[in-house]
Amino acid sequence: MDAQNLDLAYLALAAILFAIGGVGLLIRRNPLVMIMCVELMLNAVNLTFVTFGKMLNDITGQVIVFFVLVVAAAEVVVGLGLVVAMSRRRPGADADDLRLLRG
Amino acid sequence: MTVEAFVFGVCAVVVLVGGLGVVMSRNPVHSALSLVATLFGIAVLFLNLDAQLLAAVQVIVYTGAIVVLILFVMMLLGVDKDDDLETEPLVGQRVLAVLVGLIMVGAVLAVIIIGGHNAVTGARSVTGQLAGGYDNVYELGRQLFTTYVFPLEVTAGLLTIAVVGAVVLSRRPKDVQPIPEPESMIDQGDEPLTLTHEEGAH
Amino acid sequence: MSLALLAQVTGATQDPTPITAIQDQVHVPGPDIYWPALIPLLILLVGGLLLLTFSSFLRKKAPRGIFAAATVAIAVASALSVLPLWAQVQGWDKLLWWDIHPNPSGAYTTIGGMVGVDGFTLFVTIVICAAVALAALLTDGYLRREDMEGPEFYVLMLLSAAGGLIMAMGNDLIVVFIGLETLSIAVYVLSGMHLRRIQSQESGIKYFVLGAFSSAFFLYGIALIYGATGSTNLVHIKTFMSQTVPTQNGLLLIGLGLLVVGLAFKVSAVPFHAWSPDVYDGAPTPAVAWMASGVKAAAFAGMIRIFVLTFSNYEATWKPIVYALAIASMVVGAALAVVQSNVKRMLAYSSISHAGFILMAVEAGSAQGNSAVLFYLAAYVFMVAGSFGIATIVGRKGDGAHSLADYKGLARTNPELAVAFTVLLLAQAGVPFTAGFFAKFYAVEAAVDASSWPLAIIAMLSAVVSAFLYLRIIVAMFMSGADDGDDGPVPTRAERIPVPVGAGIALTLCVVITMVVGLFPNLLVDAAEKGQPALVQYDSPSSGSAAAAGTTGTGQ
């Protein structure tokens, strides 16, 4: 496998990981696992950025990953806060229990 | 087979197995540990791609902070019991989700495989920032504080929002009487949702 | 060389043993920043942070309404600071009584090409500041009623508005992304903030999960575009695409599609709208007023900057998608709104159909389309903030009374509220002599001039259908229990719902502006026409390239 094909393999891996995360988010009902699936998707995107950075010989790809990391951290904090707030009211809740707002 | 290719192979397996573990584990704690495996795999892949600082930051921030936070919350709330993976709220939702995922990945894979290396049409940078003689940390720091200084400073606002949100959402509401759920739900024949999770039909 | 320098600096005379080789002492030049351009953003950001800080000093004895007043003051200050910038961009020589000799004049960019200031940015800034001010006025009475007092609500709205501003002024996809995330994450928290209402937390989680999902799509789109064009800077992307023949570039096409998905979610276009009625229903109503006005405005601003301005060469790709989204939103929004029995959900679906109208104007992809979008956003912010303001008041304590039955007899208990709501709903329906009429008119005109005939026809049909929905609410307000054969009691003045001062001010403002713009639209139309987006090339000092070449949004 020469270097060029290897780079393409990275992109393919990232795409598959992105799809796994996406499918997982649509399938799973536990909010915490759904947050973890979002993290999978964001990691796939990070891998894509770094790979493109290498292919384009540009440091920008890596710089962008920094920002994605910050955003992911902030998102997880808020998501966990929401899960905590909801679990206080209704222990053991999962996404199926979000029935009050079905419409 | 070069060392790089071999490392890629091993890490790709780790990443994919971890990803599938996150999605398919019954126990959320197992999902979190699979996520750790995936994140480590990705960190090694970053090393393979000459992104040394990112690999370190990935381990420290993602694995060391974010996943640990998720595990904390899991333990705090006691949601570590096994999930029910069998029920589907919509018939065929699982099949539909897999189909959508296959389309998503199929499109990108098709472009990559058919286009090959020419699919990445971006202009190659002439400054060669990733070439041998440049120090990764130096280059990253330089870009972060010159070209990308505006987004960098603005993320301060983002982090403030996260902190304020975390504090506000984790407060206990002042009085113990929560507002009762609307009566229309009970009229429709649903059982009242104030029952605990075990008693309510799932 | 560096060691000798070190020796000189430290005064050491013996040879220090180098532990690490320090690189050559290089002066790293920061980008040149034109600070006046950042003043609106800084006022919002710093204002929010200062509000948070100072409020912790006077928590126990905060005077009534001080946080709302502070928020309104910050928003107004930010909006006022836009005026000198507007004068500069438009090239005026005098602003009121003092001379500005604009330098630079016309649109410009700053901070290394990351931020672009043009008429479009400034107009959207004022719209967002207006939305924040209105939402803050509505929040004041709400928080007191629900025992949720504290500055956090206001701080989150201000920071969210700052994020919206960043989206509107971003010249780089990463800046737009960070603005989008700042905007969204604050709103996720706002949705879940009513801790005593389980629907609020549910809506927060739902919004968060689906929002994070769509952000990941958006980000993947940015990654693919980065790979396809070599940069995330909008100007570089545009130059790249004009220099290469736009063949079927697979990565770019998929990237564009993913970007559309991400942004379409934020503006609740069909079929990415499923979160919207549920979240609007469960979230605290003043937060919904902000969501429906400010968040949508910022998201549409981002959409225009990215699609109409940057990807103008790829019209054949993104226009059909936006076309389909517009039609679906107008049709589904109007149709499903009619069958709801909860007023907040009705307003949510009507908001979806408004988004369809604005998408129609975006699809036109012309300067006229851009002005139509700006006019629609400006009018729409007041109409929808006012509508949700009335929903806040009628919600009563607990924020739960939102079904149509709760509006019955409003004309007898609170006649002024009923009249205000009537005006706002008729404006949303597009009745002549209100701002809504001209908004829809200009949007349809832009579509017709861009030869999107089917869109225009469907738009007008959908307006007729949604008029029925608004009439339902109006009729409910003016009827009471005895009138339509129910045995319910006739509500009297004694059952008057209290209207807080702040909400009263906000509603008066909304109604007045809706009617004034409806009677004299020209002032706003003028401003909207001048508010065109532009991409200005940043000539970095190291590149040594020729001077900046500006490319406007419509010329290619």
- DSSP secondary structure letter of residue C23: P
Closest to C400 in 3D by CA, of C120, C197, C124, C96? C197
Confidence at residue C137, expressed as pLDDT on a 0 to 100 scale:
93
Confidence at residue A103, expressed as pLDDT on a 0 to 100 scale:
38
Q: Flag whether C489 is in a domain.
A: yes
Confidence at residue C270, expressed as pLDDT on a 0 to 100 scale:
84
A-B interface: how many C-beta pairs under 8 angstroms?
262
CA distance C159 to B157: 7
Closest CB to A58 among B130, B155, B158: B130
Q: CB–CB of A73 and B94 under 8 A?
A: no
Closest CB to C112 among B107, B111, B146: B146
How far apart, in Å, are the Cα atoms of C505 and each of C67, C202, C339, C386, C407? 16, 31, 32, 10, 21
- How would you write the pLDDT of chain C (556 residues) with one tens digit per residue? 445 555 454 544 555 555 455 556 667 777 778 888 889 999 999 999 999 998 888 767 778 888 999 999 999 999 999 988 888 887 776 666 666 655 555 666 677 778 888 888 899 999 999 999 999 999 998 988 888 888 999 999 999 999 999 999 988 999 999 999 999 999 999 999 988 888 888 899 999 999 999 999 999 999 999 988 888 888 888 888 777 665 667 788 888 889 998 999 988 888 888 899 999 999 999 999 999 999 999 999 999 988 888 887 777 778 888 899 999 999 999 888 888 888 899 999 999 999 999 999 988 888 888 889 999 999 999 999 999 999 998 888 777 778 888 888 788 888 888 899 999 999 998 888 888 888 999 899 888 888 888 888 999 899 888 888 888 888 888 876 555 555 556 666 667 788 888 888 999 999 999 888 888 888 888 888 877 777 766 655 443 322 233 333 333 2
* Furthest C-alpha separation in chain A: 56
**8 Å CB contact between C263 and C218:** yes
Q: What is the pLDDT of residues A63-73, one digit of tens each?
A: 999 999 999 99
From chain C, the residues in CB contact with B123 under 8 A are 229-231, 240
A62 has a chain B CB within 8 A of its CB: yes
What count of residues does chain C have? Answer: 556
Task: Give the closest-approach CA distance of C528 to chain B in angstroms.
Answer: 28
Q: CB–CB of C226 and A60 under 8 A?
A: yes
Confidence of residue A45 (pLDDT cuts 50, 70, 90): very high
Q: CB–CB of B155 and A71 under 8 A?
A: yes
Task: Give the closest-approach CA distance of B193 to chain A in angstroms.
Answer: 9
B40 has a chain A CB within 8 A of its CB: no
A-C interface: how many C-beta pairs under 8 angstroms?
119
Interfacial residues of A (vs C; Cβ cutoff 8 Å): 11, 18, 21-22, 25, 31, 34-35, 38, 41-42, 44-45, 48-49, 52, 55-56, 58, 60-61, 64, 67-68, 71, 74-75, 78-79, 81-83, 85-86, 89-90, 95, 98, 100-103
Residue A102 pLDDT > 60: no
From chain C, the residues in CB contact with A22 under 8 A are 213, 216
Q: CB–CB of A81 and B169 under 8 A?
A: yes
What distance, in Å, lies between the first and last C-alpha atoms of chain C?
A: 51
Task: Give the closest-approach CA distance of C142 to chain B in angstroms.
Answer: 16
Task: Give the closest-approach CA distance of A24 to chain B in angstroms.
Answer: 5
Domain boundaries, chain A: 3-97
**8 Å CB contact between C382 and C509:** yes
Confidence at residue C556, expressed as pLDDT on a 0 to 100 scale:
29
Q: CB–CB of C212 and A38 under 8 A?
A: yes
SS3 for C217-280 is: HHHHHHHHHHHHHCCCEHHHHHHHHHHCCCCCCHHHHHHHHHHHHHHHHHCCCCCCCCHHHHHH
Q: Flag whether C551 is in a domain.
A: no
3-state secondary structure of C108: strand
Task: Give the closest-approach CA distance of A6 to chain C in angstroms.
Answer: 16
Closest CB to A49 among C216, C223, C340: C223
**8 Å CB contact between C386 and C424:** yes
Which range of residues forms the domain containing residue C79? 39-59+67-541
Sign (positive or negative) of CA dihedral B100, C332, C455, C262: negative
Closest CB to B171 among C195, C198, C400: C195
B101 has a chain C CB within 8 A of its CB: no
Task: Give the closest-approach CA distance of C410 to chain A in angstroms.
Answer: 26
Q: Flag whether C339 is in a domain.
A: yes
Q: CB–CB of A59 and B202 under 8 A?
A: no
Burial zone of C471 (CB within 10 Å; 0-12 exposed, 13-18 middle, 19+ buried): middle
From chain C, the residues in CB contact with B149 under 8 A are 30-31, 111-112
Tokens 């469907």 locate to C458
Confidence of residue B56 (pLDDT cuts 50, 70, 90): very high
Residue B118 pLDDT > 70: no
Task: Give the closest-approach CA distance of A42 to chain B in angstroms.
Answer: 11
From chain B, the residues in CB contact with C240 under 8 A are 122-123
Interface of A with B in 12-51 (CB under 8 A): 12-13, 15-24, 26-30, 32-33, 35-37, 39-40, 43, 46-47, 50-51
Closest CB to C202 among A41, A75, A100: A100
- Residue C401's φ and ψ, nearest 5 degrees, are -90, 80
DSSP B63-81: IIIIIHHHHHHHHHHT--S
Question: In chain A, which residue's Cα lies nearest the Cα of C221?
Answer: A45
Angle at C321 between CA C184 and CA A14, to 5 degrees: 60
Closest to C402 in 3D by CA, of C393, C415, C411, C412? C393
Domain boundaries, chain B: 1-83, 134-172
Closest CB to A41 among C178, C202, C216: C216
Q: Flag whether C106 is in a domain.
A: yes
Question: The domain at B1-83 falls in which architecture?
Answer: Up-down Bundle (1.20)
Confidence at residue C162, expressed as pLDDT on a 0 to 100 scale:
95
Q: CB–CB of B49 and A87 under 8 A?
A: no
B182 has a chain C CB within 8 A of its CB: yes
From chain C, the residues in CB contact with A56 under 8 A are 227, 230
DSSP C450-496: TT-HHHHHHHHHHHHHHHHHHHHHHHHHH--TTTTT--PPPP-GGGP
Both tokens of B200, joined, read: 């309510």
Return the CATH number of A3-97, one of 1.20.120.1770, 3.40.50.620, 1.10.287.3510, 3.20.20.370: 1.10.287.3510
From chain A, the residues in CB contact with B105 under 8 A are 15-16, 18-19
B-C interface: how many C-beta pairs under 8 angstroms?
137
Question: In chain C, which residue's Cα lies nearest the Cα of A17?
Answer: C220
Burial zone of C114 (CB within 10 Å; 0-12 exposed, 13-18 middle, 19+ buried): buried
The residue-averaged pLDDT of B140-145 equals: 86
CA distance C298 to C290: 11
Confidence at residue B50, expressed as pLDDT on a 0 to 100 scale:
87
Best B1, B20, B22 residue to mutate vs chain A (most A CBs within 10 Å):
B22
SS3 for C68-103 is: HHHHHHHHHHHHHHHHHHHHHHHCCCEECCEECCCC
Question: In chain C, which residue's Cα lies nearest the Cα of A14?
Answer: C220
What distance, in Å, lies between the first and last C-alpha atoms of chain B?
A: 52
What's the total number of domains in chain C?
A: 1
B111 has a chain C CB within 8 A of its CB: yes
pTM of the model: 0.89
From chain B, the residues in CB contact with C181 under 8 A are 158
3-state secondary structure of B139: helix
CA distance C33 to C10: 34
CA distance A46 to C95: 47
How far apart, in Å, are the Cα atoms of A16 and each of A11, A12, A95, B102? 9, 6, 25, 9
Residue A91 pLDDT > 80: no
Residue C271, preceding peptide bond in cis (omega within 30° of 0):
yes
Q: Flag whether C346 is in a domain.
A: yes
* Chains in contact with chain A (at least 3 beta-carbon pairs closer than 8 A): B, C
